[in-house]
Amino acid sequence: MTTASIRSLRTPVRSVPIDDPGELLHLLPDAAPLAWLRHGDGLIGWGEAARFEAGLGADRFGRAEAWWAEMCRTLDVVDGVGLPGSGAVAFGSFTFDAASPGSVLVVPQTVLGRRGGRSWLTTVGAGASALSPAVPPPSPERVRYADGSLSAIAWQDSVRAAVAAIRAGRLEKVVLSRDLVATSDTDLDPRFLLQRLATRFPACWTFACAGLVGSTPELLVRREGARVQSGVLAGSVRRGRDAAEDAELGAWLLASAKDAQEHAISVRSVSEVLAPHCTQLDVPARPRLLQLANVQHLATDITGLLTDGATVLGLVGDLHPTAAVCGTPTEVAAGLITALEGMDRGRYTGPVGWTGADGDGEWGIALRCAELAGPSARLFAGCGIVADSDADAELAEAQVKLAAMRDALEGV
């Protein structure tokens, strides 16, 4: 069989340069949208050329990596762009808990991308070859809220139990999450939430994958050739009512011993995983302050050079779960989460992002997000608990974090 005939049996993937199409999210159709955007750049996708359900277990990342490698061998890729995100890509979202179903990779039929002033269109198989403005998404109608798995009071009791376990020496840190159920009179359109989130949180990665929609400030890992980067967030405080209060709260967070401890634990958990893969790993000694629309975080950017050729999905599997979303020691914290949260997180706090055929990609941690199902949305927020944590303060922090999705639902 000739090379030409072999290529003819493969699924064609074509990436071509296009003129700037404008706001990417305004071009998404309403059927199962996919998105990964920051500052207006990134990727959107629609249609489904292939899907892989990764199943249960810690090896779900390895199975997804192997499936994607095999999938790429069936593709005939002609990439006329040559940028991260052009060519063949898959969007993905994984569950937090290895025992939870729902981890998935989706290869869209059509991808629209923009990066550094250059735009492109990728089609897979019979993907759309022309773009047209989508019908604007409808806004939710009469949104009501109800407690999820635990009431606020019951969740505070869980925080106190976690603090007692930490002070007893069982572990250093645990992250406890709570959920909230929102219901609209009409089905929720993920594009409405995406547009609201991208407008309010342009510095975050706004994402959509298989019904999970959100805007995360936390980069789990980015791989571009030999370069690797991770952004660790841990330690939070609300924004102030004016510039003076904002600065005061930011200074308090930077000086907080409790938040410094929580942050250091999270940084250590990431750097210890990346170190065997990298040389020249750069871990700043002090965190910086990251200010978002509704909250301020302690942030540390870790960078390095890969020496072993690990793919982005391989790094994702090694890094998850970090101490920023689970705790430390990992197994003890995970067991305490199961005992105290009273819920299955699903894909909340799991990895979400995209991977390319070359092993590059960008993955965040699914924070400030909601799982959509018709007229209902399940919202999530979590807090890192250490020995000095206070149940009232942690509840207030969780409410601030929940406000990101509440405001998006309400069009604020």
Residue 312 has a CB neighbour count (10 Å cut-off) of: 26
387's tokens:
């020995």
**Distance between CA 105 and CA 52 in Å, rounded?**
5
Distance of CA 152 to the CA centre of its chain: 25
Q: Report whether 207 contacts 217 (CB < 8 A).
A: no
60-73 vs 312-319: helix axis angle to the nearest 10?
170
Of the residues 65, 173, 262, 371, only one is catalytic, namely 173
What does the block give as tokens for 80? 């006329």
Residue located via tokens 């979202």: 93
Q: Which of these, 378, 400, 389, 372, lies nearest to 33 by C-alpha position?
A: 372
Give the residue from 237, 229, 292, 245 showing the smallest Cα distance to 263.
237
Q: In angstroms, rounded to a whole number, what is the distance separating the alpha carbons of residues 260 and 255?
A: 8
Contact indicator for 182, 376 with CB cutoff of 8 Å: yes
- Assess contact for 20 and 130: CB atoms under 8 A: no
Q: Which amino acid does the sequence have at 110?
A: T
Q: Is 401 a catalytic residue?
A: no
Answer yes or no: 173 catalytic.
yes
Q: Would you list the DSSP string of 55-90?
A: -SSTTHHHHHHHHHHHHHHTEEEEESS-STT-SSEE
Ramachandran region of residue 139, left (φ > 0), alpha (ψ -120 to 50) or beta? beta
Separation of alpha carbons 316 and 222, rounded Å: 9
At which residue do the structure tokens 């149940």 appear?
391
- 204: DSSP letter: S
Instruction: Looking at 134-239, list the stretches that DSSP marks H as alpha helix, in order from N- to C-terminal side.
Output: 152-167, 190-200
Dihedral sign for Cα 390, 395, 401, 403, please: negative
Set 23, 53, 70, 218: catalytic member: 218
The rounded distance, in Å, linking the Cα atoms of 65 and 165 is: 37
H or E element that contains 98: none
Q: Active-site positions?
A: 173, 218
